[in-house]
Amino acid sequence: MPTLRIALSQVNPTVGDLAGNARLVRVWVRRAADAGAQLVAFPEMMLTGYPVEDLVFRRSFVAASKAALDRLAADLAADGLGELPVVVGYLDADGPPQVSGDAEPGRGARNAAAVLHRGVVAAGYFKHHLPNYGVFDEDRYFLPGDMLTVVRIGGVDVAVTICEDLWQAGGPFAAARQAGVGLVVNINGSPYELNKDDIRLPLVRRRAAEAGAAIAYVNMVGGQDELVFEGDSMIVSADGELLSRAPQFVEHLLVHDLELPAAGEPVGTGERLADGLRVLRTTVSEELPAPVGPPAVGGTIEPVADEAEVWHALVLGLRDYVNKNRFPSVVLGLSGGIDSAMVAALAVDALGPERVVAVSLPSQHSSEHSREDAADLAKRTGLDYRIEPIQPMVDTFLANLSLSGVTVENLQARVRGVILMALSNQEGHLVLTTGNKSELAVGYSTLYGDSVGGFNPVKDVWKTLVWRLAKWRNADAVRRGETPPIPESSIGKPPSAELSPGQLDSDTLPDYDVLDPILIGYVDGDLGRDGLVGAGHDSAVVDKVLRMVDTAEYKRRQAAPGPKISMKAFGRDRRLPITNRWREDG
């Protein structure tokens, strides 16, 4: 059986940076070549970044993507790397955008992959299965391909597929079995969700069985707006054995030697296979010399615990949002409570303490222990800590306006928001907001107050998970012999907005241990009232919570973006009308 040394380049592209992404490809192809690779694969839409959303409709962008692909092929050959086949994702089009007046049936934008070899595009493939659920809108943007591309490399037939092709039975993987391929390369832009890695490996194994072939699965890594890509690239044999697996949340070159069946008599080009797919065959090389040196073994990285996985996802999402958008630093209000403490710790992990400004904004209702906890966290992490008392400004408002009750509470939050935005304007920081998913769900926030900011690292983190993550981060620091970043008192004390004397979250909300399971069922699980009550939740509490969630949609629509880590994040995952009289109680 021929041995093919394959390299999976788990890298971090940036949407719209065609030149930068092409440079990234060249650097990592060089690394793969130095490792003796005979085939190297990059993620879905590597050249353009992913997802490009409505950039698809700009003909200038499509043309630039196609030109960048041709230029990359020539540059790789000029680099002395032309003999190494490279699979790279990009944006293509074989006709005008489907939304244009001159659209043509069956033609339009394509989510595409190309095999580059000897300075040219040796073969191409258009994604067949287009996801149209959750955060995906690919039916809006692309037309499906109807061809299975099979490339013969070193006497092995290799099929090329893209992301969702793996998640659906039939189609390219069934066609790959009929075509007799020995390896399926699947390039991905598969966003992170908690425990998705537990789903991914069994899925790859099912597709390997369906194709009767080994699968090389390469996924991108990095943050793109509200999406985080965790990598988790892997190689699985035809009989389902996990041969190699890359780490999560870091760039990585996975190099592994695969023994693969020699190609047999080919099904003819153009012959119809499963789902009506036609085969397009290209030969790159009939034979290759055996890989030099000792066998390449990619190794297997075991997935980490849930809390570690989520923490790394949040850190990566925050770091890339700040860096890719070229913010020099971040600023946040540090109250001494658990949410702002966690955001501060995440920011320090993501950017370093020298790029994090935390501001204590005490009012007359701010407790001494909260002020002490904020100062303690600053000392533990080394971030830039400032104190800006808000009471004189609040008093000035109250001297000129007749305000009382919750309006005064909201005024304090809005004064804090004004100060943070002023520091952002003056010094160039990105303002981080700190409201968790539970608060966003029930509208427990002040619009243009504590909700103010350009990015929210904990937007998709339930309150009960905030506590778990804080405890994990401190324990991880102890394990590594470092100072835990979050004061224990911030974790242990009852949560409070501290906007009125003796105020606690529990004055307005059910305990979070009661609240979060209801919210998870309603928001993530789409359970109605009857389903929630049937699951054992108190009917009166359910009615109260659902009313709060439904009436807070207008606040969530204005909320800052933040990294998605759950199966259904607020925003693109969950799209409900603001003006909506439907209620679960009828």
Q: Which residues are catalytic?
A: 44, 127, 163
Q: 557: closest CA among 539, 542, 577, 528?
A: 577
Residue whose pair of structure tokens reads 């870091």 in the numeric block? 250
Q: How many helices (H) and strands (E) does the chain have?
A: 18, 19
CB atoms under 10 Å from CB of 560, counted, come to 18
* Tally of CA atoms within 13 A in the half-sphere of 210 that contains its CB: 20
Number of CB atoms found within 10 A of residue 305's CB: 10
Residues β-bridged to residue 386: 359
Q: Which DSSP helix (H) or strand (E) runs through 236?
A: strand 234-236
Q: How far apart are CA 179 and CA 268, in angstroms?
A: 9
In the numeric block, which tokens belong to residue 310?
């989520």
Q: How far apart are the first and last CA of the chain?
A: 66
Helix (H) or strand (E) holding 427: helix 406-427
Structure tokens belonging to residue 229: 């890509």
DSSP E strands in 278-418: the ranges are 278-283, 330-333, 356-360, 384-387
Give the neighbor-by-neighbor strand order of the sheet with 252-259. Answer: 120-126, 109-117, 86-93, 39-41, 3-10, 252-259
Q: Which helix (H) or strand (E) holds 519?
A: helix 512-519
| Distance in angstroms (rounded) separating the CA atoms of residues 433 and 522 | 24
Do the Cβ atoms of 533 and 541 come closer than 8 Å? no
Q: What is the 3-state secondary structure (H, E, C) of 432-485?
A: ECCCCHHHHHHCCCCCCCCCCCCECCCCCCCHHHHHHHHHHHHHHHHHCCCCCC
Our CA angle for 253, 257, 260, nearest 5°, is 130
Give the amino acid at 339: D
- HSE, side-chain direction, 13 A CA sphere, residue 229: 29
User: Side by side, which strands form the sheet with 356-360?
Assistant: 384-387, 356-360, 330-333, 430-431
CB 111 within 8 A of CB 140: no
Cis peptide before 51 (omega within 30 of 0): yes
3-state per-residue secondary structure call for 285-298: CCCCCCCCCCCCCC
